[in-house]
Amino acid sequence: MKLDKEIRNDYLILKPYGRIDSNTSNEFEQAVQQAIEPGMNIEFDFREVVYISSSGLRVLLTLKKLLGNQINIRFSHVNDVIMDVFEMTGFTDLFEILRVSDDEVPDTRVIFFDIDGTLLSHSTGRIPESTIRAIKKVQETGVKCVIATGRDLVEMEKLPIHDIDFDGYLTLNGNICLDKDKKMFAGNEIAPDEVEVLVNIFKAGKIPFVLIGKEKRYINYVDDVVIQTQLSTHGTIPDIGEYQGEKIYQCLAFVNKEVRRKLDDLLDKCVITSWNDTGIDIIAKTGGKDAGIQKFLDKENITRSQTMAFGDGENDMAMLRFAGIGVAMGNGSDLLKQKADYVTASVDDDGIEKALLHFGLITE
């Protein structure tokens, strides 16, 4: 467990990294004990903490009991996921929680963009000129811009997004990670025993179902629901094919909410997100856009607090909550807007450019 330490004003600032859970809590406790300065108040800077479990909470409660009321313990840069934990467990009553000021200038080094409804307008099917202009401007300052999409590389290549030279591509909801030259540097496939169940669903042919490997994707059959769903999202229809035994990184299903609930109950090692009323993604529970982002950050030696992410739909939720700053598009879902750090204008109303101007990452 990495733990940075500095003294600022009357506070000892302790900055842990990663997850504080049953695997790391003992190491976290030892690092904190070694870092404590007698008589000094403590601020935990949580900007690089992804999650804290009950084991980590117990370490903090023990520390409070040990130091007593003479020493103040507070937290800063707490993300929404951890804030939910703090509120549920009453930590917001026991400790002071500092909120980051809206005028704090972010140290953003990389920005992640969803495609559909974020980069691409649903009404025009193209990237607005303001978005192209803004992304090129921010790249000129040294900030990397990366696509994070539920689409696979084949589908993505057919979209009108070639006016921008992106610095990386997290496809299939972050489960295949590509560098700027579109060469794979990391992946997260679905567990083989779960794939066996998914292949049985595919072969049974009761619902339109897509298997996606590293280089191929194929569907069991095509009906009107598939056609209408893909037309509404400017998607393409995979070829009908048979499973050949390769690794599977994602599945799609074209189903209603009732069938989705049944799949949710059935699959133990997968998570489901919706991208349309009749379209869902199925990926490994260990995957997701947030997991793909972490792999990119590890590769580039960038920290979570130095990230920004833009999205509009349910499958962007984890990405926005993981990023240092999560921006929801004005045309995005209401739930996503509630969880975002900032809500910008719609994709058709120069939303990306306006957000980058708001945060001072570009100038007019």
Could you tell me which residues are beta bridge partners of residue 98? 76
**CA 76 – CA 12 distance, rounded (Å):** 13
Measured torsion, CA atoms of residues 95, 101, 102, 103, in degrees rounded to the nearest 10 = -170
Separation of CA 133 from chain center: 24
- So what's the pLDDT on residue 102? 47
**For the chain, the helix, strand and coil percentages under 3-state DSSP, each to the nearest 5:** 35, 25, 40
pTM above 0.85, yes or no: no
Closest listed residue to residue 292, CA positions, set 247, 249, 235 = 249
Per-residue confidence in pLDDT tens, the chain, 364 aa: 899 999 987 899 999 999 999 999 999 999 999 999 888 999 999 988 989 999 999 999 999 999 988 899 999 888 878 888 999 999 999 998 875 544 456 789 999 999 999 999 989 989 999 999 999 999 999 999 999 998 989 889 889 999 999 999 999 999 999 999 999 999 999 999 999 999 999 999 999 999 999 888 999 999 999 999 988 877 889 899 999 999 999 999 999 999 999 999 999 999 998 888 899 999 998 888 999 999 999 999 998 889 999 999 888 988 998 898 999 999 999 989 988 888 999 999 999 999 999 999 999 8
- So what's the pLDDT on residue 78? 87
Radius of gyration of the chain (CA): 22
**CA 171 – CA 296 distance, rounded (Å):** 12
**CA 321 – CA 121 distance, rounded (Å):** 23
For the chain, domains (ranges, CATH) are 3-98 (3.30.750.24), 110-188+288-358 (3.40.50.1000), 192-284 (3.30.1240.10)
Is the distance from CB of 103 to CB of 70 less than 8 angstroms? no
Closest listed residue to residue 324, CA positions, set 285, 299, 359 = 359
DSSP 206: S
